[in-house]
Amino acid sequence: MAGIVSYGFYIPKSRIRIGDIAKVWGKEEKNISASLKVQEKTVAGIDEDALTMAYESSTMAFSDVAIDKRKIGAVYVGSESHPYAVNPTSTILAEMLGIHGSYLASDTEFACKAATGALISGLGLINSKMADYVLVAASDKAQSMPHDVLEYTASSASVSLIMGRQDLLLKIIDYSTFSTDTPDFWRRDGIRYPSHGGRFTGQPAYFYHIYNASTDLLTKTKLKPEKFAHAVFHMPNGKFPIQIAYKLGFDFNQLKQSLVVEKLGNSYTASALLGLVSVLEVAKKGDLIFFASFGSGAGSDAFVFQVTDNIIQRRKRLSVSINDKKYIDYATYLKFMDVI
């Protein structure tokens, strides 16, 4: 069986309070925070980008497993903010990690689900024995136009997963994927910031696609929502994951550990995977985890994971990093995001 052998994460230390952004634009903090259910967000530094953060999270993933790097058959980097339009992030990351030569390097793009699509590709390589190990990194220094509603949530983070067949931390019991041509959020070539369709990103996009991928998977696995110890959904804000969880039949107790968006914001491709990382901080052997990503454009990848006893040795503490923070003001935020 294929699954996840190890994982790593990286969140920058800098935070900006949503209220400090709201103040600049003459908005009421309580209205913004209440409607988005987000208090603050992470901000990558001026010398950080999707690549440097992917290196940090990948280094953490390799830190507690002894894997011969020559056995890494593929390196995928999913991002909405690849540093280059042409010149792969994955080759630079691999080289920095000491992975060289006979491996597949691939940058993937599908809005916030760029990396979970790569997980499915990785699953194919592992199950077909075309690769022993696959590294998947999800990393974003998420762009948002100043004064756009996205500015309150778009944040920075990275999560890396090492996939394999043996010595698993998380078994992938099954997956399901669902896509349609639904243009809810986009960024054209050469354009700096993404555009979006406002509330159109909700019902016809986020909810429709996650609901379909998730119900397909629940039907396929014959598992009822109550069988899961935890549920994780993509977190563009703090409200949507709660609404879709309830719609699918999960309760708040199953969801609450994954809801890191309130403190970290929406780090695009890393968003849902950070929810999984948070869950792994408390998960126990045998726990079933329901996970569904969402990518605008639009699609959703849903997975059923099962925790093995390796969790005890490979557990990482996201909560420590969440609390290790330094607040910056709006001007510094603009500088870090290379706006000024």
Partner 1 sequence: MISIIGYYTTQFGELWGKSLYNLVKETIDKVLPEANLEKEQLGAVFFGNMMAGLLENNLHAGAKIAEILKLNIPVFRVEAACASGGSAFNLALNYIKSGQIETALVIGAEKMSDFSPEQVVGGLSSASSGEEQESGLTFPGIYALMAQSYFNNHKISQEDLACISVKNHFHGSLNDKAQFRRQISVSEVLNSPYVAYPLKVLDSSPISDGAAAVVLTSNKKILKKAKKSVTVLASEVVNDTLSLKKRRHLDSIEATRIAADMVFKKTGLKRSEIDIAEVHDCFSIAEIMAMEDIGFWKKGNGAKAASSYATMYGRSDHLVVNTSGGLKAAGHPVGATGIKQLGELYLQLTGKAEKRQIKNAKYGLAHNVGGSGGTVVVTILGN
Minimum CB separation from partner 1 for residue 29, in Å?
Answer: 11
Catalytic residue, from 40, 48, 80, 151: name it.
80
Encoded amino acid at 55, one letter:
Y
Sign, CA torsion 249/253/258/260: positive
Residue span 27-66 as binding mask against partner 1, x where in contact by CB under 8 A, dash where not? xx--x-----------------------------------
Contact partners, residue 232, CB within 8 Å, separation at least 6: 241, 255, 258, 272, 275, 276, 279, 289, 290, 291, 292
CB closer to partner 1 out of 147 and 247? 147
Mark the segment that binds partner 1 (CB under 8 A) among 25-33, 52-60, 171-179, 212-220. Answer: 25-33
Catalytic residue, from 112, 151, 230, 262: name it.
112
Minimum CB separation from partner 1 for residue 28, in Å?
Answer: 6
CA 139 to CA 82: how far, in whole Å? 8
CB closer to partner 1 out of 204 and 225? 204
Among residues 146, 204, 225, 249, which is the contact residue for partner 1, using CB under 8 A?
Answer: 204
CB closer to partner 1 out of 45 and 204? 204
In terms of C-beta density within 10 A (0-12 exposed, 13-18 middle, 19 or more buried), how is residue 56 classed? buried
- How many residues are listed for the chain in this entry? 340
CB closer to partner 1 out of 8 and 299? 299
Contact flag: residue 198 with partner 1 (CB under 8 A): yes
Q: For the chain, how far is it from start to end, CA to CA, in angstroms?
A: 49
CB closer to partner 1 out of 101 and 198? 198
Contact flag: residue 199 with partner 1 (CB under 8 A): yes
CB closer to partner 1 out of 177 and 201? 201
CB closer to partner 1 out of 207 and 332? 207
Minimum CB separation from partner 1 for residue 147, in Å?
Answer: 12
Minimum CB separation from partner 1 for residue 197, in Å?
Answer: 8
Minimum CB separation from partner 1 for residue 262, in Å?
Answer: 21
Active site residue 234: yes
- Collapsing DSSP to helix, strand or coil, 192 comes out as coil
Contact partners, residue 138, CB within 8 Å, separation at least 6: 77, 78, 79, 114, 115, 116, 158, 159, 160, 269, 270, 273
Residue span 158-197 as binding mask against partner 1, x where in contact by CB under 8 A, dash where not? -------------------------------------x--
- Phi, psi angles (nearest 5°) of residue 218: -65, -40
Q: How many residues bind partner 1 (CB under 8 A)?
A: 9
Contact partners, residue 188, CB within 8 Å, separation at least 6: none
CA 22 to CA 125: how far, in whole Å? 46
CA 43 to CA 157: how far, in whole Å? 8
CA 277 to CA 317: how far, in whole Å? 8
**H/E run at residue 314:** helix 311-314
Site residues (CB under 8 A) for partner 1, limited to 290-309 = none
| E strands, the chain, in order | 3-10, 14-17, 40-43, 72-78, 104-108, 133-141, 156-164, 170-182, 185-186, 195-196, 230-233, 288-292, 297-307, 326-327
Mark the segment that binds partner 1 (CB under 8 A) among 64-72, 118-126, 198-206, 299-307. Answer: 198-206
Contact partners, residue 199, CB within 8 Å, separation at least 6: none
Minimum CB separation from partner 1 for residue 23, in Å?
Answer: 14
Minimum CB separation from partner 1 for residue 140, in Å?
Answer: 24
Residues that bind partner 1 (CB under 8 A): 27-28, 31, 195, 198-200, 203-204
What residues act catalytically? 80, 112, 234
